[in-house]
């Protein structure tokens, strides 16, 4: 079966006339330009995208650079953009993604590129290190034997330890795309793995660390990491668990918690979200710098006719909404 593979290549000479050069729209407008080359390959119906790339490299253009090893979604090496979405090439069938027999592959524009389809994983590992991905011993350390923990406690971590560090979730994370300092879904899923491990002695400190700016509260719930992770780690769900534990541990003096509380208070009070009070309450009323920084966004909303009304009437039967909040209670009830 014939397949057309369009490869976005990068070797610092994009624009030299070899292949069509394209740029990316925001938020990736600063990503290096790729030049796109088209190859034809003859592969069976069940072939994977990685099979096509290896066939190109072996029989058509040995200069094509692609990173791969296990071909079984274990090593996490072959993460790339396939038709504009992050995937592992070794488990993506050509027939599942081809449009009229054509598939486009390229290094993700959210990451620095080394060459062709190989992206630089340095930022990925830096974020992993930043969450302190190791156990801090509980004292006393058992001498001559292992720490004993219930099976159920470790079964609770199976989802998080399934991560193969492929970076696919980070490639398409919307928050990371606009804020490269965001710790990102993979590192924060790993962070939960240590928070929830009963052998760790630093749970409280970890929760404080992950609640800081660029941590768990910077996730925008876009769900991309849940949808894209090839191993079912569901990083966003782990992030939400850390948030809950952090609030319960008393880490409430941060814009993320204030934002969530202000949101809930507004709905509980009037049945509506009052966006006019949301920003000041989230940043803190006396945080003048943050308030000033939000002014451009407010002007943009005004210009687009999206500024919320000054009067904030209650919705009918608001007492029913209040009853729901009273019944649910939890982190927003105090």
Residues that bind ligand SF4 (CB under 6 A): 76, 163-169, 173-175, 185-186, 189, 219-225, 229, 231, 233, 235-236, 239
Residue recorded with tokens 């099979």: 51
How far the first Cα of the chain sits from its last, in Å, is 64
Closest to ligand SF4 by CB, 37 or 159: 159
**Is residue 29 within 8 Å of residue 120, measured between CB atoms?**
no
Q: How far is the CB of 11 from ligand SF4 (least distance, A)?
A: 26
Q: What is the DSSP string of 248-271?
A: HTT---SHHHHHHHHHHHHHHHHS
**Is residue 170 within 8 Å of residue 186, measured between CB atoms?**
yes
Closest to ligand SF4 by CB, 11 or 237: 237
HSE-CB for 183 with a 13 A CA cutoff: 28
Q: How far is the CB of 232 from ligand SF4 (least distance, A)?
A: 8
Closest to ligand SF4 by CB, 234 or 268: 234
Closest to ligand SF4 by CB, 77 or 165: 165
Residue recorded with tokens 């998080």: 160
Q: How far is the CB of 79 from ligand SF4 (least distance, A)?
A: 7
Q: How far is the CB of 135 from ligand SF4 (least distance, A)?
A: 19
Q: How far is the CB of 34 from ligand SF4 (least distance, A)?
A: 23
Closest to ligand SF4 by CB, 109 or 235: 235
Residue 201 vs residues 87, 132, 133, 204: alpha-carbon distances, Å? 36, 13, 13, 8
Helix 203-210 crosses helix 185-195 at what angle (to 10 degrees)? 160
State the sign of the Cα–Cα–Cα–Cα dihedral 270, 276, 282, 287: negative
Residue recorded with tokens 């945080």: 287
**Is residue 192 within 8 Å of residue 241, measured between CB atoms?**
yes
Closest to ligand SF4 by CB, 41 or 167: 167
Closest by CA to 8, choosing from 85, 96, 115, 102, is 115
Q: How far is the CB of 254 from ligand SF4 (least distance, A)?
A: 17
Q: How far is the CB of 242 from ligand SF4 (least distance, A)?
A: 11
Q: How far is the CB of 100 from ligand SF4 (least distance, A)?
A: 29
| Strand-strand pairing, 79-82 and 102-106 | antiparallel
State the sign of the Cα–Cα–Cα–Cα dihedral 62, 63, 66, 67: positive
Closest to ligand SF4 by CB, 78 or 113: 78
Closest to ligand SF4 by CB, 27 or 280: 27
């Amino acid at each position: 079966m014939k397949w057309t593979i369009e490869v976005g290549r990068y070797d610092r000479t994009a624009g030299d006339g070899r292949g069509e050069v394209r740029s990316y729209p925001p938020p990736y407008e600063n990503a290096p330009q790729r030049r796109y080359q088209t190859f034809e390959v003859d592969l069976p119906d069940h072939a994977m995208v990685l099979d096509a790339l290896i066939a190109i490299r072996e029989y058509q253009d040995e200069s094509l650079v692609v990173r791969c090893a296990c071909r079984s979604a274990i090593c996490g090496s072959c993460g790339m953009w396939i038709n504009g979405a992050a995937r592992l090439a070794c488990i993506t069938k050509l027939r599942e993604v081809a449009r009229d027999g054509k598939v486009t592959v390229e290094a993700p524009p959210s990451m620095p590129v080394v060459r062709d389809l190989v992206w630089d994983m340095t930022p990925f590992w830096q974020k992993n290190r930043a969450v302190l991905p190791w156990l801090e011993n509980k004292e006393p350390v058992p001498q001559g034997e292992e720490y004993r923990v219930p099976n159920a406690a470790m079964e609770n971590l199976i989802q998080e330890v399934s991560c193969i560090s492929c970076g696919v979730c980070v490639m398409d994370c919307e928050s990371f795309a606009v804020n490269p300092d965001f710790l990102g879904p993979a590192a924060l899923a790993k962070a939960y793995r240590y928070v929830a491990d009963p052998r760790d002695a630093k749970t409280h400190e970890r929760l404080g660390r992950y609640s800081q700016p660029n941590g768990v509260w910077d996730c925008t719930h876009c769900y991309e990491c849940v949808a894209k992770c090839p191993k079912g780690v569901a990083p966003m769900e782990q992030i939400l668990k850390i948030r809950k534990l952090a609030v319960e541990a008393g880490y409430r003096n941060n814009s993320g918690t204030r934002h969530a509380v202000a949101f809930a208070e507004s709905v509980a009070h009037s049945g509506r979200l009052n966006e006019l009070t949301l920003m000041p309450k989230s940043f803190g009323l006396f945080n003048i710098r943050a308030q000033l920084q939000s002014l451009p966004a407010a002007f943009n909303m005004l210009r687009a006719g999206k500024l919320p009304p000054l009067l904030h009437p209650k919705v009918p039967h608001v007492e029913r909404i209040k009853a729901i909040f009273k019944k649910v209670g939890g982190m927003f009830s105090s």
